[in-house]
Structure 1
Amino acid sequence: MSRAYAEGMPLPLALAVDFGGTKVEAALVDARGALVAGSRHRRPTGAGASSPELDAAVRDVVSAALFARPADTPLLGVGVGAAGPIDLEHGTVSPLNVPAWRGHPLVERTSEMVHDAPVTLRIDGLCIALAEYWVGAGVGAANMLGMVVSTGVGGGLVLGGRAVPSPTGNAGHIGHVEVGGFDDLCACGGSGCLEAVASGPRTVAWARTRGFTGETGEDLALAHAAGDPVALAAVERAGTAIGHAVATSASLLDLDVVAIGGGFSRVSPALFDHARAAVAERTSFPFVTRVEIVPSGLSDEGPLIGAGALVHRPELLA
C-alpha cells in the first residue's frame, strides 16, 4: 500500500534520489516517511547509457520532483541513495552495473541542481535498511539487514539502532559476499558472489542456459507460477544463495530481521521460502536460525523513503 502524502502531514520535506542499475527516481518525502503525491518521477539508466545521458536523467527526475514542492515549503536537504560502490569522502559513485560512471561526482552534480539544501549520499542498500527500520518491516528491530534484490544485489546494516560505521560508505554490500556451492563469475572479480548468482538478470541468464526462453524477471515469474521446471529450479537456486548469505551474516552479526525489497524479490514468494530453508539448516545455532527473513514492508517505495531518512533521521547515521 502506498504511503501517499496527504494534506496536513508534517513539513518540511526532503528530496530523495535513488540511482540504480536500470532506473533513477526522485521524489519528495515528508517527516513521516511518506511520498508527496505527484512528486515521484523515473527515468531509465542501464549499462548502455552514456555519462551525459545519465546526468540528464538525474536532472530530469530532480527537476520534476521539485516542481511538485508545495509553495513556501522548506526543503531540509537532499538524500541520495546509489548502487555501489560509492566513495563518501569524495562524494562519488561507481555503480558496478553502470560502466559509464566510474568515480562520478554525483554529490557535486546534485548540489549544482539544488543550491539551497545539503546533499547526503549513502549506498542504496543502506537506504533500504533505514527505510525498513524507520517505517517498514524492521520497526522495533535493533539489528537488521536491509537487502535489495534487483538488477544487482545490495544491502545495508542497522546495528544497535544505528547505521553501521563505514569509512567508505560500502558496509553491508552483501551482494559481493561469496556464497558456498556456487562458482558463478562476478563483475567485481570474485567468484560465487551473491549478486552473480541471485540477481534478476543473472538468474534469468542461468535459466536460459537450461532452455528457458524468456528474457526478463517478469517472464521468469510467469513461468514459475505456471510450474515450469527450469523456472522453479532458477528461483530455488537464487533463494538458496540468498539464504546462505543471510545465514553467514546472521552468524557474524546476530541479526533480528532481514528485510528484502527490489524488483526481483517479488519474482515469487518461493524465493523467500528457499532462503528461509537454507537458514534453517544451521540447526546447531539458534541465534542464527532465529533471524526473520521478510519482504519489504514498503514495496518499491523503500529506496526513496530511505534516501529521505538520510535527511529526516540523521541521528540514525553513524
Structure 2
Amino acid sequence: MHTDLVAALDIGGTKIAGAVVDGHGTILVRAQRPTPAREDGDTVMRAVEEVLGELTTSPLWGRARAIGIGSAGPVDASAGTVSPVNVPGWRDFPLVERVRAVSGGLPVELIGDGVAITAAEHWQGAARGHDNALCMVVSTGVGGGLVLNGRLHPGPTGNAGHIGHISVDLDGDPCPCGSRGCVERLASGPNIARHALENGWRPGPDGDATAAAVAAAARAGDPVAAASFERAAQALAAGIAATATLVEIDIAVVGGGVGKAGDVLFTPLRKALADYATLSFVRRLTVVPARTGTDAGLVGAAAAALAGLPGAAAGV
C-alpha cells in the first residue's frame, strides 16, 4: 500500500463529506457541508468547493496525489458525470472536470457510492482477504459493488454490482427504475416499512414508521413486522444467489441501515440463501454484516484514488 496521501469526497443527498486519507485508510483531515439537494447544480457544486477549500487549508493537502469521489448515482465514470437521483440539480453534471479544476489538476477517480463502500469493506472490513465478494448497502435504496479476482470491479461507468435492480419477481410491483419486482422494491428500508403498514403493522406511541421501528417490533415478536423482514430477506437472497451463480463470489457483505437490523434480517436471509444458492459452487457462500462505519464512503473513495496511482498495490 502506498504511503501517499489522497483526498476523498463522499457525496450524498444529505451531506458532502471530504477528507485527506493516508495509505492505511486513516482519515487525517475532514470537512463536511450539508447537501443543498433542492438547489440548482451550481449551488450544489459550491458546497463541494467549500469542502475542498477547507481541506486545502491543511498543510497535508500538498501531499495529496489524487482525489477519489464516491457519489450517489447513477454515475458515469467514463464521462466523468453524475446524475444522483436525490440531487435533481445534477443531471449529467461534469463533476470530475469541476473537481479537477478546483484542485489544481489532480487526477480524479469517480465511482458510485455502492462501489465506494465495497472498496472500503474489501480494504478494511468484512470482505478483507476475499478475492470475490459482493458488498451491498441496504437503506433508502439498495446498492452494491463487486470485488472480482482480488480487485474492485466498478465496470466501465462505475455502476457494476448494482444489485438493487435485479428483478426477483417477474410480475412484481413496478419499480421507479422502469422494471418490475426489483430487489430494492422489496428490500429497501422504506419498502419494508410500507409492506408492514399495508399488512396491519402499526407504529408505537412515538409514531416511528421506519424500517428500524419495524425491526424493533419484529424483535419483540410482532408477526407482521417479522414477515416484512422475511420478505426482504428472500428478495436479497434471490439477488445474492443470482450474483453468486453468475460471477462466483464466496462472501456477501450487507451494510446500510437495514443491514443493522441484526438477526431479524440475517436469520431469514441465511435460511433463504440455502434455498436459492443450491449449485455446488455457490453452496459455501457466506453472508455477513458490514464492518466499516459511517466513514466507509470516504475510505472507499480513497481506496479508488490509491488504486489509480502508478504502481498501486493490486489489493486496494
Fold conserved between structures, TM > 0.5: yes
- Structure 2 counterpart of 1:162, one-letter code: R
What residue in structure 1 maps to residue 150 of structure 2? 161
What residue in structure 1 maps to residue 260 of structure 2? 266
Corresponding residue pairs, total: 306
What residue in structure 1 maps to residue 30 of structure 2? 39
Matches within 5 A, 1:3-152: 11-36=3-28, 39-41=30-32, 43-44=34-35, 48=38, 50-67=40-57, 69-71=58-60, 73-152=62-141
1:317, 1:140 → 2: CA distance?
Answer: 9
Structure 2 vs 1, CA of residues 182 and 199 (structure 1 numbering), >3 Å: closer, same or farther?
farther
- SS at 1:219 equivalent: helix
1:228, 1:61 → 2: CA distance?
Answer: 44
Contact 1:244 1:275 in 2 (8 A): no
Structure 2 vs 1, CA of residues 234 and 100 (structure 1 numbering), >3 Å: closer, same or farther?
farther
Unaligned segments of structure 2, at least 5 residues: none
TM-score normalized by the length of structure 2: 0.86
Contact 2:20 2:60 in 1 (8 A): no
2:269, 2:35 → 1: CA distance?
Answer: 30
Deviating more after overlay: 158-167 vs 77-86: 158-167
Q: CA deviation at 1:246?
A: 0.4
Q: Does 1:229 align with 2:220?
A: no
1:27, 1:19 → 2: CA distance?
Answer: 12
Structure 2 vs 1, CA of residues 206 and 27 (structure 1 numbering), >3 Å: closer, same or farther?
farther
Unaligned segments of structure 1, at least 5 residues: 1-9
- Structure 2 counterpart of 1:139, one-letter code: R
Q: Does 1:311 align with 2:300?
A: no
Contact 1:24 1:42 in 2 (8 A): yes
Matches within 5 A, 1:240-255: 240-255=234-249
1:199, 1:42 → 2: CA distance?
Answer: 26
Contact 2:75 2:83 in 1 (8 A): yes
Q: CA deviation at 1:261?
A: 1.8
What residue in structure 2 maps to residue 275 of structure 1? 269
Structure 2 vs 1, CA of residues 65 and 267 (structure 1 numbering), >3 Å: closer, same or farther?
farther
- SS at 2:269 equivalent: helix
Percent identity over the alignment is: 41
Contact 1:142 1:160 in 2 (8 A): yes
2:273, 2:171 → 1: CA distance?
Answer: 16
Q: RMSD over aligned Cα, in angstroms?
A: 2.6
Deviating more after overlay: 262-271 vs 74-83: 262-271
2:108, 2:225 → 1: CA distance?
Answer: 42
Q: CA deviation at 1:44?
A: 4.1
Q: CA deviation at 1:133?
A: 1.6
Q: Does 1:209 align with 2:198?
A: yes
Structure 2 vs 1, CA of residues 138 and 59 (structure 1 numbering), >3 Å: closer, same or farther?
same
What residue in structure 1 maps to residue 213 of structure 2? 219
2:110, 2:177 → 1: CA distance?
Answer: 22
Structure 2 vs 1, CA of residues 40 and 279 (structure 1 numbering), >3 Å: closer, same or farther?
farther
